[in-house]
């Protein structure tokens, strides 16, 4: 996965050495589209009322979260993801096609990454090989903070959503106290990530101990 990511980023740099803007009329209209949220506006410092709005990308993200929640909670294949992630051998004994589930999980990951890239591109309005540098680590951190276990089999999409919101809140707080440097945000996120990893390690160790005691 990492090799593929570096290869794709390198090829992007070769194809487009400089950032580029999309001038397609349909894309520009989609990028600039806003959904007004009534009664949530505010008055700016000039005394002008400014409407609150939601970008199209937010709607797309919420629809994907809802679809994934239904798929993972009630879909047969979605439940198989948890089974394979938790214990591949047990999943095989249950008659689950582990290779198929693994392939589908990677396929779904690629599709969602593509949609995420398009939404990000639509938000910034330009393309560059340097865009979204480190986004993969933010995705991993959001999942872990949201309760996803690195050992697999545990976690849910709602928890991951709260993890994403937590990272956004951290970035806002760091900026609001005057620490605008990006590395302060990185340090804070890294500290939280280490804390959650320690908690996960303790939980895993206790589960193993409980299972060993139950087998005696």
**DSSP-based three-state secondary structure for 34:** strand
Q: Report, as an integer, the average pLDDT of 187-200.
A: 81
Query: Both 86 and 182 in a single domain?
Result: no
Query: Both 127 and 162 in a single domain?
Result: no
Number of independent structural domains in the chain: 2
Domain boundary among 73, 98, 133: 133
Closest CA to 22 of 12, 11, 31, 35: 31
Query: Both 15 and 121 in a single domain?
Result: yes
Closest CA to 4 of 100, 113, 79: 113
Domain boundary among 104, 133, 162: 133
pLDDT tens digit sequence for 151-171: 777 788 888 898 888 888 887
Query: Both 129 and 38 in a single domain?
Result: yes
- The pLDDT-based confidence of 203 (bands split at 50, 70, 90) is confident
Gap between the Cα atoms of 61 and 57, Å rounded: 6
Query: Both 159 and 115 in a single domain?
Result: no
User: Over 90: is that where the pLDDT of 65 sits?
Assistant: yes
Query: Both 50 and 104 in a single domain?
Result: yes
Query: Both 3 and 92 in a single domain?
Result: yes
Task: Specify whether the CB–CB gap between 175 and 167 falls below 8 A.
Answer: no
Query: Both 129 and 152 in a single domain?
Result: no
Query: Both 32 and 59 in a single domain?
Result: yes
Query: Both 48 and 111 in a single domain?
Result: yes
For position 180, what pLDDT does the model report? Answer: 63
Query: Both 126 and 138 in a single domain?
Result: no
Q: Higher model confidence: residue 75 or residue 207?
A: 75
Domain boundary among 83, 107, 133: 133
152: left (phi over 0), alpha (psi -120 to 50) or beta: left
For position 32, what pLDDT does the model report? Answer: 81
Query: Both 43 and 109 in a single domain?
Result: yes
pLDDT tens digit sequence for 204-214: 778 777 777 77
Task: Specify whether the CB–CB gap between 142 and 160 falls below 8 A.
Answer: yes
Per the structure, the complete domain to which residue 153 belongs is given by 134-216
User: Over 70: is that where the pLDDT of 179 sits?
Assistant: no
């Amino acid at each position: 996965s990492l090799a593929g990511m570096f290869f794709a980023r390198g090829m992007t740099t070769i194809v487009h050495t400089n950032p580029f803007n999309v001038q397609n009329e349909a894309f520009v209209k989609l990028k600039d589209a806003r959904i007004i949220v009534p009664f949530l506006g505010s008055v700016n410092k000039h005394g002008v009322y400014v409407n609150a709005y939601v970008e199209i990308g937010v709607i797309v993200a919420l629809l994907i979260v809802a679809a994934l929640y239904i798929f993972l909670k009630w879909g047969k294949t979605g439940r198989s993801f948890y089974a394979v992630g938790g214990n591949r051998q047990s999943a095989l004994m249950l008659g689950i096609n582990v290779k198929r589930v693994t392939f589908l999980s990677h396929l779904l990951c690629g599709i969602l990454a593509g949609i995420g890239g398009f939404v990000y591109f639509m938000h910034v309005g330009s393309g560059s090989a340097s865009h979204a540098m480190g986004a993969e680590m933010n995705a991993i951190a959001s999942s872990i903070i949201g309760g996803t276990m690195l050992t697999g089999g545990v976690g849910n999409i709602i928890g991951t959503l709260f993890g994403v919101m937590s990272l956004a809140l951290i970035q806002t707080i760091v900026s609001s106290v005057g620490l605008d440097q990006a590395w302060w945000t990185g340090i804070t996120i890294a500290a939280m990530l280490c804390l959650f990893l320690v908690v996960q390690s303790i939980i895993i160790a206790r589960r193993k101990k409980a299972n060993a005691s139950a087998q005696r």
